[in-house]
Structure 1
Amino acid sequence: MVVAGLDTTIANVALPSIRQSLNAPVSGLQWVVDAYVLVIATLLLFAGSVADRFGRRRVFQTGLGLFSLGSLLCGLAPSLGALVAFRALQAVGGAMLNPVAMSIVATTFPEPKERARAVGTWGAVAGLGGACGPVLGGLLVSGLGWRSIFWVNVPIGLLAIGLAQRFVPESRAARARRFDPLGQLLVVTFLGPVTAAVIEGPRHGWASPLVVGLFVLAAVSVCGLVLTESRRAEPLVDVRVFRSPAFSGAAVIALLVLTAVGGFLFLTTLYLQEVRGYRALHAGLLTIPMAAAGAVCATVSGRVVAARGARLPLVLAGLLLTVGAGLLAGSGPSTGAGYLVLAYLLFGAGFGLAGTPMTTAALAGLPRDQAGVAGAIASTCRQTGGAIGVAVCGSLVASGVPAATAWTVLAGCGAATVPLGLLSTGRRARYSGGRSSEQAMDVAR
């Protein structure tokens, strides 16, 4: 998970260098980030079900191998198009990491309080990688160039393959679900066109046939997904679990929180290096507070969820995200470093607090025997949010809209988390969530 956390932040630090080296427009930078995030989002559900069927450790190791190969090729990419393609290959492996790791945690710690603490530790480890990413990325970009940020994943990935073989027990579902190729196709044709339309809208025009066609395809796909999956005995996406307010609330919150985080990373990188003129290392050092606060608060959140439930950390997370992004909406070319660090600390703390309650709610929405699918749904919402954040904020920048507008949008995502957190953790939501979980168990049986 250090590898996954590292790749979340290390690539963003290198975006300005990639832009200069490969003569990439803003939309090209968006695709460097979103090619990775989007492919992961579209394959997570499939990866979770494959892990439940063929073995979680085996799929986890396969993912590490593909991730390492994709990283190596990214470092050798001769053009922007090749880099985007190799980022997609890297993401195929990445799709096998997060949900499978989450399902390993869920099956290893069946007791709810222990699982909450374990998820908190899991989030802290991923946060540790995120905290190291800006500094390591800055050092590598400044000393060896942007290509080295991808090569660093290779030895870590190979080491993780060996450690997984030695220490991670193999596990699989007692009765795995059947493959659902139509459901997988509809997920791809829903998430892909939405993101592509938002990225390409400023360049082609929002009323252009291409952009309108992409939105129409996405709308048709999501309608088809709901209709077909609700009729299947063993669907890829069991839409019935979304009847649970707790599960649906966690899914929407994950989407909003990661939209804010994805937009934060994209905007911050461009602001620090292109507006403020900082070198990659200096920019990386300034973003450490965000990732470090996230890692620390993920551990705290796990303990709070285990002791008092998800409501307090979710509401506090929304407030902190709102204040952090709101402060950044007031930043400019001469804003003091202390002001920025405070905003980054608040924003990172909010992100860290949100992780564990979102994850535990998602895991509670499906039977434990389908932990891979539960983890995949939660991770899909996160990755989709990250892709949307980059796409929306990048489109606003490309359209010439003031950066304060983009930050205000991200603050709105944080603010929306507060009422959703209250609604999804109330007594009625918990009761409905328990009933939905039992019904899903009956269906699985």
Structure 2
Amino acid sequence: MVTATPSSVHPRIVLGTCCLSLLLVMMDVTVVNVVLPSIRAQLHGSFSTLQWVVDAYTLMVASLMLLVGSLADRFGRRRMFLLGISLFCAGSALCGLAWSVNMLVLARAVQGIGGSMLNPVALSILTNVYVEPRARAQAIGLWGATSGVALALGPVVGGILVHWVGWQAVFWVNVPIGMIAIALTLRFVPESSGGQGRSIDAPGQLLAIVALAMITSGLIEAHNYGWSSPTISGFLGFGLLSIAGFIIVEQRAASPLIDLRFFRAWPFSGAIVTAVLAFAIFSAFLFLNTLYLQDVRGLPALQAGLCTLPFAFGSMLCAPISGRLTGWYGARLPLLLSAVGFGLSAVMLTGLDATTPLSLLLVSYGLCGCGFGLCNAPITNSAIAGMPRAQAGVAAAIASASRQVGALLGIALGGALTATCIHTGVVQWAGFSQATHAVWWSMVVAAIAIAILGFVSTGARARQSARAVAALLDPN
């Protein structure tokens, strides 16, 4: 049972503390992309290790996000939140101390374990502190808006720190922010729990981690070993077997990590696939363009960070618009507009070369940011549409995890599709622009798929399937 909120609790300070946690996690996404060329130059990492610097973090977040919610309900949300911040800060310090790219990748994994404990637990804390529905909605809205601010600040802060201090500073800056969050949590955040919570599905959790790790490894390392290599075949084959095992285990588990019956609801299935596609576009777009701006165009980190601001501003501008459109007209319209933004931004880059006008790049980045900002509200709305109230939180958590899976696969696939310019792990930058064309065309296809899903998952038959699943999950 949730403990009573102490009279000494200051909800606004609790909200600020939770926003700090989101600032840490989201700023780290864009900061790291900006400093990748500096990391490569100093630590002499290959292209695949740059992918791992990003994906080691995302793999942990994607794999553990659903588990963390159950652990927080069982052992205490405040306790789990503190553990998450502490691990994130420890991982950040290890990143700053890294003397090799392999150590940096391991440190990023530690960061990811901590990061997986922050956002879902912070949302539970806010839900416990803000009891009145309207105040809760406003608090969650402000908390979510922090994501856009962090995306906007990340590239600029990263560029400034790299320019004046060095790439290690982008990790060290997390430590004082995290220490402030720890102090505020200890002083102002009340403990709460959900009793015993859901049972922990250990076999399902293990299979999920193995499946994501194997498939990601296969895609990232393919240009090092070759697609026909037994190593890559083993990675991908074992990943697929793990997915099959996961499905079998989840069908038989008394308290599954993911209730597969959710996927019978078309709006939910559409939201999950859309989340994977949208975040794959986002992560690959940011990863490849950051490398292009610095290693092909020769821009310093600060200028490259400034060039990505249209993406962040587009996302910040369109996110609240998307929320209103979803509330007024449902998920279909914002999903279609999101697909247009993603598609147009990718089409504009299909002829990318070393002399592409900067104005065209900025417009493309802005359109991609608009597409990204427009997709999040309808994804969450579709995921919980028609679900029983008791299941809505789990459905939203699965949608959040699927976003991380998309980001994970976007980096891996983006690298795999640019393999034509990679020889023995070293990028031939003269051919990098041409090699990315396959990625941009793939993004066009993904945008079309998002538009189709926007139609299919929001129609009358889709709503009927959601009602049927709701009746199955909650016969009362």
C-alpha change, 1:228 and 1:300, in structure 2 (3 Å) is same
So what's the TM-score if we normalise by structure 2? 0.87
Q: 1:52, CA displacement in angstroms?
A: 2.7
| Aligned twin of 1:402 | 435
Quote the residue 1:201 is aligned against: 222
What is the Cα deviation at residue 167 of structure 1? Answer: 5.5
- CA shift at 1:300, angstroms? 1.8
Which of residues 439, 444, 450 is equivalent to 1:411?
Answer: 444
SS in 1 for 2:349: helix
Report how many residues are paired: 443
Q: What residue is the counterpart of 1:420 in the other structure?
A: 453
Structure 2 residue runs without a partner (length 5+): 1-21, 422-433
User: Is 1:440 aligned with 2:459?
Assistant: no
- Give the distance between the partners of 2:72 and 2:54, measured in 1 at CA: 26
- State which of 146, 153, 171 in structure 2 corresponds to 1:132: 153
Q: Is 2:303 aligned against 1:303?
A: no
Q: Select which of 211, 220, 232 maps to 2:241.
A: 220
Q: 1:97 offset after TM fit, Å?
A: 1.8
How do 1:226-375 residues align onto structure 2 when only pairs under 5 Å count?
A: 226-364=247-385, 367-369=388-390, 373-375=394-396
User: Cα offset for 1:408?
Assistant: 1.3
Q: Distance in 1 between matches of 2:448 and 2:129?
A: 35
Going from structure 1 to structure 2, the CA distance change for 1:107 and 1:355 (only over 3 Å counts) comes to: farther
* Paired position in structure 2 for 1:78: 99
Q: CA deviation at 1:289?
A: 0.9
Residues 315, 175 of structure 1: alpha-carbon distance in 2 compared, 3 angstrom cutoff = farther
- Percent of aligned positions that are identical: 47
Q: 2:31 aligned with 1:10, yes or no? A: yes
2:44 equivalent in structure 1: 23
The answer on whether the counterparts of 1:272 and 1:283 sit within 8 Å (CA) in structure 2 is yes
Query: SS of the residue aligned with 1:357?
Result: helix
TM-score, structure 1 normalization = 0.93
400-409 vs 83-92, which moves further:
400-409
Query: Over aligned residue pairs, what C-alpha RMSD do you find?
Result: 2.4
2:465 matches 1:429 = no
- Give the 3 Å change call, closer, same or farther, for CA 417–185 of structure 1 in structure 2: same
CA contact (8 A) 1:120 1:303 kept: no
**Structure 1: distance between partners of 2:391 and 2:182:** 24
Map 1:29-68; keep pairs closer than 5 Å: 29-68=50-89
Q: Partner of 1:173: helix, strand, or coil? A: coil
Q: Which amino acid aligns with 1:137?
A: G
**Cα pair 1:10 1:136 within 8 Å, conserved:** yes
Cα gap change, 1:115 to 1:424, in 2 (>3 Å)? farther
Q: What's the offset of the Cα at 1:109?
A: 7.6
Distance 2:378 2:184 in 1: 28
5+ long unaligned stretches in structure 1? none
Mapped contact 2:386–2:463 kept (Cα < 8 A): no
Going from structure 1 to structure 2, the CA distance change for 1:208 and 1:365 (only over 3 Å counts) comes to: farther
Determine if contact 2:81/2:118 at 8 Å carries over to the other structure. Answer: yes
Aligned to 2:116: 95
- Aligned in 2, Cα 1:357/1:110: closer, same or farther, shift over 3 Å? farther
Q: Per-residue deviation at 1:159?
A: 2.0
Greater CA drift, 170-179 or 423-432: 170-179
Between 170-179 and 86-95, the greater mean CA deviation after superposition: 170-179
